[in-house]
Every structure is written in C-alpha cells, then in structure tokens.
A and B are shown apart, each in its own frame.
Chain A
C-alpha cells in the first residue's frame, strides 16, 4: 500500500497543495515550515533522479532501442516472473500471515523475525542462500534433483523462486498487519454458524482483508519486478530464460549506458501503468 500510495501522495502534494491551502486559509495557516521544507526536499529527492532519467534518455535512438527483440524478451520475462512470484507469495504467504496474526504459539516473535529477514538481507546473500538450499547441490535441492530431476538454478522457475524469496516478506508483513487490524470476532461469528476455521478464513476473513492482500500483492509484485541480486545469483543470466529487465539494465550499463536508460524507462513506464491500473481497481476500497 505504501509503495503505491507514495507517488500518489507526492503528486497529491503538488496538485492538491494550493487547494488545500485555500481550505486551510479559513481556519488558519498552511502546512508549518518545519514539515513543509523537509517534505519538499523528500519529494525532490525521490522525483529528481527519475526526472534525470527522462532528461538524459536517448530519445532519438529510443525507437530503435525499444524495437529490439531482446528488450521485449526481457520485459516479458520480467512481467511473467514477477506475476508468478506474486502468485507463489499469495498461496504460501497469506496462510503464513494468518498463522502469525491469529495463532498463539511459542516462538512466534522469532518466526516473525525470520520471515522479515529477507527484507534486510542483501539480495545477493539471499541468492547464495537459495543456491546452498535449493541449488543442485543444496541441502534441499539435492533431493529435488535426485527424486524429481528438478534443478532450479539457471531456470525461469529459479527466477520465480528468487523473486518470491525476496518479495514474499512484503506481502506477509502487509497481510499480517491487515489481519491484526481486522476484527477476529467475524471469524468467531462464522464458527458459531457452523463454519470450520478454514471455512471461516476462506469465506469471511479473506474477503474482509482483500484490500490488504491486494496492497501486499502489489508491493510484492513491484519488489519482484525490480529484483536483481538474488535473481542473478541464483538463476544466473541467460537471455529469454533468466535475464529479466533489471539484469539486462545492469549488463547494458557495462557498455551502453544509453541502452540501460532506455530499458529502465520501459520498466518504469510498465510498472507505473500496472500500479496505476491496479490502484484504480483495487485500492479504492483499502
């Protein structure tokens, strides 16, 4: 929710500023300076780098950059993987959030800390952790390989795993917060009507916290879309299979900064479009 709300709040300050001042003028003064100044600095801090990208974008060679098959391949892969990672996060992250919010058990604080760990872990370290666990020679991956013949590194599934690892905590934290704020007595009401705890969750809690889940999913999706470190470490870099946009941007930066900027703008445009679209559809309720 925060990530989508931020840019909006920012533009809101720009657009809504004069209007708000007019409203406040009746009651007193506008925003106090000690708040207004840092707020505007903060806004500039977030917006100026993006503006710089636009200013320095190689507009002339843009059409050429954007029609290259590699760009579309990377973009398509990015969108597919981020969406799949979000789906994975939803399927296992929402129940995890429910467990953390609703079930009292020993060591819950510890579990919560573990869940949020990927938030602070450098993504590259996350990638190495995934290699040592789910890699071909990893402690779990070894069995995946010998039992099912499944190896994740260097595959598109590996990209999804890496992105989900990094993005899921955002979803879990967001959904857990929503669950904590939601009245647990609705679940109780459902059980007195004969619903099992799972039915109560599915038919009552889930619809009630849908806005929170949507917000968490958007956060996770955005994080997955921009994921670089864990992806390149765990899934490697191969065009069409594991080379997502951020990887393409990074490698383009090595030799062709203009191409890198062009790629970044494409990613930026697509994410803004998707986030804005989702916001209109989902976020109004939340």
Chain B
C-alpha cells in the first residue's frame, strides 16, 4: 500500500510540478529500462567521451558529507558544464523522500536496509552496489578523560552516553555490536542521526557516543576516537544506486563511476571509510 501511495504521489507531483523535470525523467526511464546495471557501468573510465551536462542530484547519507562534497567538486572539474547538488541527511529520511517522489538521480545510503526501502519501492535502476563500508567507533571527549577503552566501559554508571536511534543505521549497527558482546547499555538519548550524536559529544553534553569512524575523523580534534573490537561485528555496507526516474541518468552514471573509481575510493578511505 505504501508503495502504491508513494508512486502515485510522485506522478502527481511531476505532472503538477516541474514539467521539464518530468520530461527528462520520462526520457531517463525509457533509456534505462534496457540499459546495463550500475555494476557494469562502473568499469567505464570516469572521463567519459560523451559530453555531460546538467545537474546531478545526489541524496546521500549524512556520514558521506565531507567526502561526497569533495567528489562533487572533482566531478564538476572533470565535466565542465555539470553541477552536482547534494542532499545529506539520515538515510531513512532520504529514502522516504525518494519513495515519496523527490526528484533525485543518485541515492547513497548508509545501510542496505535503507537502500532496500528504495529498491522495494521499485525506485532504483539496477542493483545497488556497495561502494564503501563504515565501521563504528566510540567517540569521547578530547583526551578521553573517562578512560574509555572498550564498549563495556560505556555501560559504567555516571557516564552520559548517546546512541543513534535504533531506526537509523548507526543505531542499528551499535545495537548489533552491543548484542554481539552481550552488553546492555542505557544511553541518555537516542539521537535522530549520527551527526546529532557526534554533536552532543562535541558540545561536551555527552561523555561518549557510538558513531562512525568517518564522523570521528571529520570532527578533527574536537573529539577523540576509540576503536573497539566488537565493531567488526557491525560493519555497515554503503550501497549506491542510480534512481529509476533520474532526470539526468548519463551524468549520474558517471558520478557513480567516479565514486567507485580508484580516485573516488582514495577520497573515501581518506575520510575513514573501509574499502568494500
């Protein structure tokens, strides 16, 4: 029922809304029906011989903000005349917007589960590909004043710990790690996304949080990261997919290719992501 609702809504939106976008989307539809999947595309060199133009709209998980912004600039440099715009946010909200009819070309999610919302709705074109993986890390105040060295240390009383809400990927992953090690942890708050969790530690409102390694890295020296062995049980795959109704499919494919190229991987691992 949800699917049908979402698709109907989108159609209405497009008809009522931007006419050009709708036309482009129709074109993209017919061309991508028989076109190869994203996977086969990824082998193509990033410097496509075709002249690319227009705007690529990328919906990406909040944790990708820094690296994707850099890759977007790189893409625009390689393909003059193109423009990459991003919408970063919780993967679930983004997935909900996409199934709700938001006009996007590419979706990069922080978990297969959220990507599944989009593929189940039939809104993805081809099979999503995992382009990076992210590992959890404990983040503490600078200098780790509470001497936290393991996941178990977080369960100590008097410590204010925030986790991501179980509905968002970083929360799911953290719960998985806690379950795997048989630990019970009552946080002071279940934050709505990973950045909010990190912010609480940055502002010293919480003593520790469980977030992605990439987020810890992005926060610089405002926080300190503590690796923990249980994180291996909760590595998050990040899938990326071209969307079925992508208004600018060609340029979008090229952007996905850039993300998966050696060059793209270098930027992503530099930000703390693991190779797939």
Contact = CB atoms under 8 A, between A and B. Distances in A.
Interface of A: 56, 128, 131-132, 135-137, 153-154, 232-233, 235-239, 242-243, 247, 250-255, 257-258
B187 interface: yes
Contacts of A257: 2, 96
Given A154-B160, A154-B188, A237-B165, A254 B96 contact: yes
28 contacts: A56-B5, A128-B203, A131-B203, A132-B203, A135-B204, A136-B204, A136-B205, A137-B203, A137-B204, A154-B162, A154-B188, A232-B192, A236-B162, A236-B191, A236-B200, A237-B191, A237-B192, A238-B187, A238-B189, A239-B190, A243-B190, A251-B167, A251-B190, A251-B192, A253-B96, A254-B90, A254-B167, A257-B2
Nearest to A137: B204
A141 to B, nearest CB: 9
A232 B160 CA distance: 16
Nearest to A257: B2
Interface in B256-273: none
Nearest to B141: A137
Interface string B190-214: 1110001001100111100000000
Interface in B157-186: 160, 162, 165, 167-168
Interface in B1-31: 2, 5
B92 interface: yes
Given A136-B205, A237-B165, 6 more contacts: A56-B5, A237-B189, A237-B190, A238-B188, A254-B90, A255-B167
A239 B189 CA distance: 9
B47 interface: no
B92 A254 contact: yes
A124 B183 CA distance: 32
Contacts of B150: none
Sorting the interface of chain B by its residue count into under 10, 10 to 19, 20 to 34 or 35 or more gives: 20 to 34
B204 A236 contact: no
A56 B8 CA distance: 13
B93 interface: yes
Contacts of B206: 154
A128 B195 CA distance: 13
B200 to A, nearest CB: 7
Contacts of A136: 160, 204-205
Contacts, number: 68
B196 A233 contact: yes
Contacts of B92: 254-255
A119 B204 CA distance: 27
A252 B168 CA distance: 11
Contacts of A243: 190
A136 B188 CA distance: 13
Contacts of B162: 154, 236
Contacts of A258: 2
Contacts of A242: 189
Nearest to A233: B196
A254 B168 contact: yes
Contacts of B187: 238
A236 B2 contact: no
Nearest to B6: A257
B167 A131 contact: no
Nearest to B165: A251
A137 B199 CA distance: 13
Contacts of A247: 192
Given A251-B165, A254-B96, A257-B2, A236 B188 contact: yes
Contacts of B96: 253-254, 257
A247 B191 CA distance: 10
Contacts of B191: 232, 236-237
A102 B233 CA distance: 65
Contacts of B165: 237, 251, 254
B140 to A, nearest CB: 14
A236 B206 CA distance: 10
A136 B190 CA distance: 18
Interface in B116-174: 160, 162, 165, 167-168
A242 B93 CA distance: 21
B93 A236 contact: no
Given A236-B190, A257-B2, A131 B205 contact: yes
Nearest to B160: A154
A115 B204 CA distance: 28
A251 B93 CA distance: 9
Contacts of A232: 191-192, 196
B205 A137 contact: yes
B203 to A, nearest CB: 5
Contacts of B5: 56
Contacts of A132: 203
Contacts of A128: 199, 203
Contacts of B200: 153, 236
Interface string B237-264: 0000000000000000000000000000
